[in-house]
C-alpha cells in the first residue's frame, strides 16, 4: 500500500520529484568534489602556511632585526609607563585616593619593598585591610585594577563583620612595581 501511494505521488508530482532528485545528485557530486579534491588541497595549503609563518624570522636576518627593533621599542615604551621609585609617595597617594573615592576606610596597611635585580624594578608587596559595604569594596578592586602604573592584584578575601549588616572587611594583597630611580 505504501509503495503504491509513493508511486502515485511521484506520477502526480513528476516535475518536483525530478527537481528533488537533481538537487540530491548535485549535492552528492559537490560533496564528493569537496572530500576528494578540495579538502586535501586545503589541508596541504594550511600546512604550508603554518610552516611559512614559523620560518621567515629564522631565515631572513632583516626580518629578525625588524622584529627585535619593534620588540625593543615596545619594551622601552612599557618600562616608561612604570613610575620611578622616587614617585613612591604619589603611587601610595593614588592608592589611598582610590580607597577614599569609594567611601571606604583603610584599617591597616603593610608593605614590603623588594628590589628585583634582573628587571631593575622595585616590587612593593602590599597587604591592606579595608572596611565598607560589599558593593563599594568591589568598586575598590576594580579601581585598583585600573590604576596607573603596574599593579597586580594577588588575593582578595572578604569577611563579614558580626553585628553590622552589609559591612565587610576586605583583605587585599597586591604588588606594584616602580622603576629604579635614574640619577
DSSP bridge partners of 116: 121
Domain ranges across the chain: 2-54, 85-179
Q: What is the rounded CA–CA span in Å between residue 169 and residue 105?
A: 10
Superfamily of domain 85-179, CATH level 4: Ribosomal protein S6/Translation elongation factor EF1B (3.30.70.60)
What per-residue confidence (pLDDT) applies to 154? 93
What per-residue confidence (pLDDT) applies to 147? 86
What per-residue confidence (pLDDT) applies to 58? 60
What per-residue confidence (pLDDT) applies to 100? 92
Q: Using CA of residue 37, residue 43, residue 45, residue 48, what is the dihedral sign?
A: negative
What per-residue confidence (pLDDT) applies to 172? 93
pTM of the complete model: 0.60
- Residues in the chain predicted with pLDDT less than 70, given as ranges, are 1, 55-59, 164, 183
Amino acid at each position: 500500500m505504501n509503495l503504491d501511494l509513493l508511486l502515485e505521488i511521484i506520477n502526480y508530482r513528476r516535475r518536483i520529484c525530478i527537481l528533488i532528485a537533481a538537487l540530491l545528485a548535485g549535492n552528492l557530486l559537490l560533496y564528493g568534489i569537496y572530500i576528494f579534491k578540495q579538502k586535501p588541497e586545503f589541508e596541504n595549503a594550511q600546512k604550508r602556511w603554518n610552516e611559512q609563518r614559523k620560518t621567515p624570522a629564522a631565515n631572513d636576518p632583516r626580518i629578525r632585526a625588524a622584529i627585535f627593533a619593534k620588540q625593543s621599542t615596545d619594551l622601552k615604551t612599557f618600562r616608561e609607563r612604570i613610575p620611578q621609585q622616587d614617585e613612591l609617595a604619589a603611587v601610595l597617594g593614588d592608592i589611598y585616593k582610590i580607597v577614599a573615592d569609594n567611601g571606604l576606610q583603610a584599617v591597616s596597611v603593610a608593605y614590603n619593598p623588594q628590589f628585583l635585580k634582573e628587571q631593575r624594578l622595585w616590587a612593593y608587596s602590599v597587604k591592606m585591610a579595608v572596611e565598607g559595604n560589599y558593593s563599594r569594596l568591589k568598586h575598590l578592586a576594580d579601581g585598583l585594577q585600573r590604576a596607573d602604573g603596574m599593579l597586580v592584584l594577588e588575593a582578595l578575601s572578604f569577611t563579614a563583620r558580626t553585628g553590622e549588616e552589609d559591612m565587610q572587611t576586605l583583605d587585599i594583597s597586591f604588588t606594584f612595581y616602580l622603576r629604579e630611580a635614574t640619577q
